[in-house]
Amino acid sequence: MIRALVLAASIVMTLSAQKLPRTVDGQPDLQGIWSNATITPLERPADLAGKQTFTAEEAAAYEKQVVERNNVDRRTGNAEADVATAYNQFWYDRGTKAVGTRRTSLIVDPPDGRIPALTPEAEKRVQDKRAWMEAHSTDSPEGRTLGERCILWVTAGPPMLPGPYNNNFQILQARDQVVILNEMIHNARIIPLDGTPHLAGTVRQWMGDSRGHWDGNTLVVDTTNFSDQYAFRGSDRNLHLTERFTRTSPDTLLYEFTVDDPTAFTKPWTAQIAVTRTKGSIFEYACHEGNYAMTDILAGARAEEKKAGK
Amino acid sequence: MRTKLGMLIAGVSLLVSAAPAWAHHAFAAEFDSTKPVKLKGVVTKMEWINPHAWIHLDVKSEDGTVTNWMVEGGSPNTLLRNGFTKASLPVGTEIVVDGYQAKDATNKMNGRDITFPDGRKLFVGSAGQGSAPPDK
């Protein structure tokens, strides 16, 4: 049923896309600055189990509820929650709308809208990593997350997901290459479209190695060769990520991605986000220029150790 | 000094209903939830830097000594996107900062809420309202 709906939607989109702009090279024109901000969660919340889509009224009520819940100007009196919230609502830009399909999760497959279970080996790897991080979180910068270390941002991808702010990416096209610039940590992927093969399996990169091709009006980007240290929701070095970009109207782009990693997940899974064109600029996010937090965190841990007489 | 350290801990509730906290880094690892700070001072500098902007201010104590504090805000991209300019917070502006002191006990704190002395919020804008639609 879902697949039939998705197929039907794809056909409609393909038809309408034929009227959409093309580049001078005749390719579908995906260029522009796009926002993927949405309040729709990646995974379907437990209290919405079994409910794949909202009615228009339900979506409006859900949007209102989530926007209220996300409003950090409402202080709870809990000091720990308060300090973790960091700053006031001004700084957050999570969006206010559910995705246009009114689906209750970004994940469209499996139908329960949840990330499939990890394999036992992956589960152990994730637990071991978590335990190591907890034991060494303030020993050195290496104990902090990749985001705190300004190496990768967890939602900048690939794959690209909405986060708390700066939910923007820009697409630039040439005949044989596509560039995707993500605002968070200003990652830019330069993706060959000329059919050259992936790098040798021994070459591993933080953002993997992306290769693109056109499937009708859809740009398909395959990414492999991820670093051992990159783990997207429990993925490992065997992650094969497939992203699909389809322009569905002058102001909308359907972004889909499939995570296929048989040594990490018990089955592949797919998410969809209808992203919207946005004006304005992509601003530089030169993460390390003033990353005082790293030294503050480590100095804080040393001060606490001293206080405890260690 | 007009700072009130450690005296402002509200009743701790186990029910955390706040939004998922998600700044660039774990503020809970950097700042001490047992050291709430509220101070009034005069802006001496604003650093428009990533991943988070920092405001510097001088805080004068009752005996006249002046201490410089650094206050951590959020992504400078948000400032740009909301039309905030360097003229928006000139040196010399008096502000009130409510937050928590750094765990290393230096004069750094997060700006959980920042207001002008009359109570108006310093950082207000359209953030959280989604990005602007394209021009037609």
What is the structure's pLDDT at B13? 26
Band the pLDDT of B2: cuts 50, 70, 90: very low
Q: How many CB atoms lie within 10 A of CB B4?
A: 11
**Cα A110 to Cα A124: distance, rounded to the nearest angstrom:** 23
Inside any domain, residue B19? no
Percent of chain B topping pLDDT 90: 62
Summarised one tens digit per residue, pLDDT across range A225-277 is 999 999 999 999 999 999 999 999 999 999 999 999 999 999 999 999 999 99
pLDDT digits (tens, 9 = 90+) for A48-82: 999 999 999 999 999 999 999 989 998 888 999 88
Residue A6 CA neighbour count, 13 Å, CB half = 13
Say which of A277, A286, A303 has its CB closest to residue B105.
A303
Residue at B108 is within a domain:
yes
User: Residue A35 is nearest to which of B28, B123, B131, comparing CB atoms?
Assistant: B131
Based on the structure, what is the number of domains in chain A?
1
* Cα distances (Å, whole numbers) of residue A103 to A51, A211, A275: 9, 30, 14
Contact A287, A293 (CB under 8 A): no
pLDDT at A2: 52
Question: What's the Cα-to-Cα distance from B90 to each of A247, B45, B85, B118, B123, rounded to whole Å?
Answer: 44, 8, 10, 17, 14
Contact A147 B103 (CB under 8 A): no
Domain presence at residue B63: yes
Distance from CA of B49 to the nearest CA of A (A): 6
We report the CATH number of the domain holding residue B82 as 2.40.50.1010
Residue A44 has pLDDT above 60, yes or no: yes
Q: What is the mean pLDDT of chain A?
A: 92
B94 located within any domain? yes
Residue A240's DSSP bridge partners are A260
Contacts of A229 (CB under 8 A, 6+ apart): A146, A206
- What global pTM score does this model have? 0.87
Q: Which domain holds residue B93?
A: 36-115
Query: Lowest-pLDDT range, A16-30, B47-61, B65-79, B110-124?
Result: A16-30
Q: How far apart are CA A202 and CA A254, in angstroms?
A: 33
b/e per residue, A27-53, with b = 16+ CB within 10 A? bbbbbbbbbbbbbbbbbbeeebeeebe
> Which residues in chain B have Cβ-Cβ distances shorter than 8 Å to A94?
128
Q: Which of A288, A310, A8 is nearest to A150 (CA)?
A: A288
Query: What is the mean pLDDT of the segment spanning A149-166?
Result: 93
Of the pLDDT bands very low, low, confident and very high (cuts 50, 70, 90), residue A18 is low
B69 occurs within a structural domain: yes
Give me the residue label for tokens 């002395």: B117
Domain that holds residue A185: 2-307
Is the confidence at residue A166, as pLDDT, over 60? yes
Q: Environment class of residue B86 by beta-carbon count within 10 Å: exposed (0-12), middle (13-18) or buried (19+)? A: exposed
> For residue A5, what pLDDT is reported?
52
- CA-atom Rg of chain B in angstroms: 16
Q: What's the number of CA atoms in the CB half-sphere (13 Å) around residue B13? A: 10
* pLDDT, mean of residues B118-132: 67
Residue A309: is it exposed, middle or buried by C-beta count within 10 angstroms (0-12/13-18/19+)?
A: exposed
How many domains, chain B?
1
Q: Using one digit for the tens of pLDDT, what is the confidence trace for A170-186? A: 999 999 999 999 999 88
From B96, B88, B86, select the one nearest B41 (Cα to Cα): B96
Query: What letter represents residue A199's amino acid?
Result: L
Chain B closest-CA separation from residue A199 CA (Å): 31
Domain membership of residue B26 (yes or no) is: no
What pLDDT score was predicted for residue A3?
Answer: 52
Strands B108-110 and B66-72: parallel
Q: Which of A86, A167, A289 sits opposite B50 (nearest CB)?
A: A289
> Is the pLDDT confidence value at A13 over 90?
no
Chain A residues touching B13 at Cβ < 8 A: 76-78
Structural domain includes residue B93: yes
Determine the 3-state secondary structure of B127 from DSSP.
coil
pLDDT at B135 over 90: no
B43 found inside a domain: yes
